[in-house]
Amino acid sequence: MINLLAYIDLNPLRAGLVARPEEYRWCSIGYHAQTGNRDGLLSTDFGLEGYDEMSEQERFADYREFLYVTGAIQTEKGASIDKGIVQKERAVKYELSDVDKFRHKTRYFTDSGIIGTKAFVSRYYEQFKDYFNTKKVKKPRKISEGTEIYSLKNLIK
């Protein structure tokens, strides 16, 4: 199962669309990186025994390691992950930093329309709320615990 998942998650990389598998928005690894598997939409056992004993973050890092090592192998199927990228990921044990998580969460405008301090987000939402097609008042939310960066998402619906 993990080989099948890796094959699918590596397709955009092999096609030369991205340099890292999670940069492709419409694949499972991209969804995990972007949302942290919000609402448990996708299984995180990746078809392997023993994963039920690991935290979700550990499972994700373990799968990323498998994906990066597999993706770095040169094949006739297309591009591979650059060895330098694999070395950098190995150094951080294949875990996403808070900066990487932030980048993945906000790389598409429709996912985050306003980003900044709570005061900044609130001020600009109030200034432009008539331009957004939303039915209810939006409130800024922290992008992650331990940070003072807020965002408003899904402003154009």
**Successive 10-residue mean pLDDT values, the chain, 157 residues:** 90 91 85 79 79 86 92 85 94 88 66 79 87 79 81 68
Is residue 116 in a domain?
yes
**What pLDDT is recorded for position 109?**
47
Distance CA 92, CA 89 (A): 5
Is residue 147 in a domain?
yes
| 28 and 41 both lie in a single domain | yes
Q: Which two tokens stand for residue 77?
A: 């199927």
Is residue 157 in a domain?
no
**What pLDDT is recorded for position 8?**
92
pTM to 2 decimal places: 0.68
| 68 and 101 both lie in a single domain | yes
Domains of the chain: total: 2
**What pLDDT is recorded for position 118?**
93
**What pLDDT is recorded for position 68?**
94
**What pLDDT is recorded for position 41?**
80
Contact 138, 114 (CB under 8 A): no
Give the angle 32-91-60 at the CA atoms, nearest 5°: 20
**What pLDDT is recorded for position 81?**
92
Direct distance between the N- and C-terminal alpha carbons of the chain, in angstroms, rounded to an integer: 36
Distance CA 95, CA 10 (A): 18
Distance CA 91, CA 86 (A): 9
Which residue range(s) make up the domain with 131?
109-152
| R_g over Cα of the chain | 18
| 63 and 10 both lie in a single domain | yes
